[in-house]
Structures are given as C-alpha cells and as structure tokens.
Amino acid sequence: MAHDRFGNLTGWDLEGFHSGGDTEAWRRLGAHVVTVHDDERGELSGTRFAVWAPNAQRVQVMGDFNWWQADEMELIPGTGVWGIWKEGVGAGAKYKFKVQGADGNWHEKVDPYAFRAETPPYNASIVHTTHHEWAPGEDAWLSHRAETDPYHRPMSIYEVHLGSWRKTMDYRQLAQALPEYVSWMGFTHVELMPVMSHPLEASWGYQVTGYYAPDERLGSPDDLKVLIEALHAAGIGVILDWVPGHFPKDDWALGRFDGTALYEHADPRQGEQPDWGTYVFNYGRNEVKSFLVSNALYWVSEFHIDALRVDAVASMLYLDYSRAEGEWIPNRFGGRENLEAIDFLRYVNKHLYERQPGVMMIAEESTSFSGVTAPVHEGGLGFGFKWNMGWMNDSLEYLKLDPIYRQYHHNDLTFAMVYAYSENFILPISHDEVVHGKGSMVDKIPQDDWRKFATLRTFYSFMWSFPGKQLLFMGQEFGQRAEWDESKGLEWWVDGMHWHKGLRDLIRELNLLQAQVPPLYLHDHEPEGFRWINANDWMANTYSWLRFGQDGDMVACIANFSPEPYVAYGLRVPRAGVWREILNTNDARWDGDGDHLNGARLAVPRDDGDAEVVVSVPPMAAVWLRYDPDADEQHLSQG
C-alpha cells in the first residue's frame, strides 16, 4: 500500500460514533481535506470522504473532480462506514454519494455531514474548509457569556428570518444592517430561524436536508460567521433554531439512506410525523444520537452560537403526538412517553451545558410535560428555558375580543400566574402567530387604528412587565399590517408612519427601560418578584401588579384594555411616599394623545400598613410607576 486509502481514518476512530458517545462526529465523517503520507512521493493533499451506510451493497463518490462518474468506496472493516481518499480534491469541489441499497436499487445521496451545500434547487454537497479567523473580541464575548447569569438579567429576543428581514441581503450585508438595528432597538438577542440547508424556501428552514451546512442562498459558511461575529461585537447574543425532531422525505437526503430506515424508525407509527409529512429520528440508535448531539455542539462550537431553541419538542416527547388510537406504539411500560427521545434530550442538554459554559438550551414545548427546565440530575429534561405557549395562546385570544367582551375573559391574562414559576419561561409572540391566516398582530385586534395600536402598545407593555423573558417576531415591532410572507419580506416602508413609528419607538423604550429597571427582570423566575395589586377588576378590563427588585426597589404596573379612562384609579402599594411614572403608553412620543400623564404621585399610608396611590389611567393604555425613596414628598400633590 503506497498510502492510507482511508485518509487517516480507522475503525478505532469510529468506536464513539457507534456507541452514541461521539459528540464531534463531524470531524470524522463527511468530507475533509487531509494530507496523507506516500512512501514514494511524500506528503499528498486530497479529500477524505466517509459515510455511514451499513446496509448498502456498494457506495461510490461522484463529483466535478471525476466528471460525475463514480469512484468505488470501501468499507472500513467492522464499522458500516464507507471511505475513500481522493488525491488532488480540495475545498470547493462538489460531490454526492451514489448508494446501492440492500434491495439493489441505486440512489444519489447528499452527504449528511456536509459543511456546505449548493444553492437550491441544486443540492450537491461541497467540500469546505473554513478560512474565517474570529476577531479578538470573540474571546471576550465567549468569556463574558460563560460568566453571565441569564435568569437574572434582561433578555428580550428579536426573532428573525434572515432571508426576508431585508429581502435581497446576504449574510455579509446583514452583518452591516442587522446588528445596528437590533442594538438600537435594545434587544439583547436575535433568534435566527433555522439556517441549515433546506430545499424549499417556504419551509422557513424547518425541513432540513443538510444539518451541518448553512443555507447557501445567503452566502457561504464563513459569511454566516461574519454575521454572527458582528452581532456579538454589538453585544447581541445569537439563538439558533434547531430541528432534531423530524426531517423531510426527499429521496436525495437522509431518508432511507442506505435503502433501509437508517436515521428513522422503519415502522411509520414511530418513524413518520403525519402533521408535516416527515420522518422521525430513531433516538434509540447510537449512530443517530452521535449525529444529533454532534450537530448541536457543531453550531455552538464552530459558529459560536449562544443558544439553541429546540423546535417541536412536544412531538418528540409523545409517541401519540398528533396520532389517533392505533396509530402509535406504546413504550415498554405501556405509556405514551417517548423514552428514547427523553433520554436523548437529557443527554444533549447535559452535554452542552457542561461542555460550553454560558450556552442556553430553549424548548419550544406546548404541553404540560413536567420538568422541562429542571436539571437532569433532578429528573428534568435539562433545558434552560421553555416557551410559554399557554400564555401566548391565552393572550392572543384575549386581544381578538371586542373590549366589551373582554370582561368575560378576564382570566385569560391572569391564568399564567398559576403556573408562572413551574418552568423558566420565555413569553413568545413568534412567526407562527402571524402566518397561515392568523393575521398580523395589528389585524388580530378589532375596530379602528386608534384602538388597534393603543391596544398593541398596552399589550406589549403588559408583556414586558410580566414575569418571564420576551420574544417578538420581526415586523411586529412596527405593527406590520400584512401577515408575514417569506417571499416578500417586511413592509419597512410603514415603520416611519403614524401609529407604526410610535409602536416601534415604544418597543425600543420598553427594552431600554427594562435594562435600566431591575424589578422588571431580576426575579422573572422567582415568586418574590411579583404580586398582584388587583387581578380581579374585570368590569374595568384592567390589571395591576407589582414587580420587585432588591432593597425595596419596586414598580407598580397598570394595564387598561378598556376604551374608558380612569382618572382616579386607586392602587394599593407596599410603601407610602413618591411613586414616579416611568412609562405611559398614551404619551405623544408613542402616538398617544398625551392625556392622563401622571408625573410623580404621592402614596399615602393606609390603616393596614400599606399605602394607596391614586393615578390617572388613559384608555387602552399601560402605566408604570417606580417607587422613589429619595424624592422630596413635601413638594408633591395628589394632582
């Protein structure tokens, strides 16, 4: 043998992959430019191709380096992995695997571990070697992230579909525009809808065909790193949507990869997701676990992603998810829980939290499954945060009502406090709520523009002062009227218009105020941070509550979802003295009419030890008052 025909890859290197313990499987499988030693010619450069296909009869690699013919690959003994090293093949080469399945049929397949893929509708994999050198500031960012406590800091998330935020912008152009805008708006994080390679733009990235390859529509993997680096330089954390729950059935991708159900279950009662027409990963197979846990670590370590938001967790947890009786197989105890998926989620969460200091794992989970954000060692799933889908659904149903009917649904906005501390919640208004006939946030609200935008200002103020972190989908910050359409992009031309500009400027103010006022974030996940003042004023469609910080720092919040003003609304507060208005959504700055502003108000003692402050509450508006222990009470009046 003149040189290593497998490009320095051995069966020993793949033991972890087969045991489910290889958390960096991308370093071994896929296409890698490597140098091998030839006894006669010395060091030779080429690309090593390796692919797992244990039930294939033959596997070939074909590409632009061999005129798309075929080179036979060989089984690495005892591994089920086929390998070949091709001299002279370097970065930029396009390739596919040609797999003859156990049934004798041939299929062209893309590389499951490809780092780069062609722009759809083309789908060849591309040999890729990164040339991006992270700026010195990245080390400081990662060090800061490792020391940050996300639970006791402000977190407001701007959810973005990169392909339509500013239509026609690529990763490098976005690197100039997106960090500046997000920073100016005061958001702490962006959440990127999946950037993994996907064939259909209308899937928004949730039907992934290349788990390790960023979407080539907007640029190369190194271009994406430029965007992430720019966001970090602006102080913005990057959350990436991750889809380990299911994958599409395109015959050139993961499905039936070697002619058998390799990545998925063979039985459709376990291996297919009827809602989306997709395959479900086989979480009990060690090589699949290695593939997925490695993928999670890949985005965090190689792209410096700060958090993964795991999509459709409920579909992973339950064997009967969206299935009728007889269409699912119970677990070994006769239950509906997917024990293998639960073990996998605990494994990946535990590994990432231990391996990457400061990383966050976020669950999009819509059921009452217990312990989603409890630590693994306490029997939980080990996520850091969970989307509060119940709060979201209840809130949006309330907003759709004509104000005269809201009094009969008052508990829609109070019920979330019953379970507010059962998990570490994020309050999401996501892309899913403004598509497919659901209407934009503006269109959900009945009656005229004054009521629509005043109600939205009130609701967002309610959301930003309610326990939990906040997430808002792009375009909703300036009140886009149309449903989001990924093919058209956002309606940026309205963001400077009346109503729209006021709403956008209010969102900015909410973010800036939250960062400056610890009671609005410090105890988001702890009961001592919240207390109702009056949760039961249903006849007035009004809610009032307190948020607490440290050392007596507190804010009283009022939200009036009625079109009626309340010029002398009494609030029972813990301290007598000065309470100073820090937010009034009826302020002219936010396109309100400027009436019913409060300035500073004096709370007078009550016989029971509390105090009462009387405020003027505008119609369809929110008011925040912060206790000011240093104010001079002698110069204040009740007026």
**pLDDT at position 132, please?**
96
**Segment 30-71, tens digit of pLDDT:** 999 999 888 888 889 999 999 999 999 999 999 999 999 999
Is residue 72 part of the annotated active site? The answer reads no
Token reading at 592? 């309100």
Note whether 548 and 599 are within 8 A (CB).
Answer: no
**Token pair 């829609």: residue:** 412
Considering the chain, what percentage of its residues have pLDDT values greater than 90?
93
**Segment 380-390, tens digit of pLDDT:** 999 999 999 99
Q: How far apart are CA 430 and CA 234, in angstroms?
A: 23
**Segment 450-508, tens digit of pLDDT:** 999 999 999 999 999 999 999 999 999 999 999 999 999 999 999 899 999 999 999 99
3 pLDDT band, cuts 50/70/90, is low
Q: Which residue among 311, 581, 587, 591 is the active-site one?
A: 311
Question: Looking at the whole model, is its pTM more than 0.75?
Answer: yes
Note whether 209 and 253 are within 8 A (CB).
Answer: yes
- pLDDT of 635 > 60? The answer is no
**pLDDT at position 6, please?**
82
- Name every residue whose Cβ is closer than 8 Å to that of residue 367 and which is 6 or more positions away in sequence: 314, 317, 318
633 pLDDT band, cuts 50/70/90, is low
Please give the span between the terminal C-alpha atoms of the chain, in angstroms, as a whole number: 94
Q: How far apart are CA 611 and CA 621, in angstroms?
A: 23
- pLDDT of 2 > 60? The answer is no
Q: What is the mean pLDDT of the chain?
A: 95
**What does the pLDDT average to over 314-335?**
94
Burial class (CB in 10 A: 0-12, 13-18, 19+), 104: exposed
- Report residue 268 CA to chain centroid gap: 29
Q: Which residue among 13, 111, 216, 364 is the active-site one?
A: 364
* Structural domains in the chain plus CATH codes: 12-126 (2.60.40.10), 528-635 (2.60.40.1180)
Reported as type and span, the H/E element at residue 555 is strand 554-560
Is residue 311 part of the annotated active site? The answer reads yes
**Segment 596-626, tens digit of pLDDT:** 999 999 999 998 889 999 999 999 999 999 9
Burial class (CB in 10 A: 0-12, 13-18, 19+), 599: exposed
| CA angle (347 as vertex; 343, 352 as ends), nearest 5 | 155
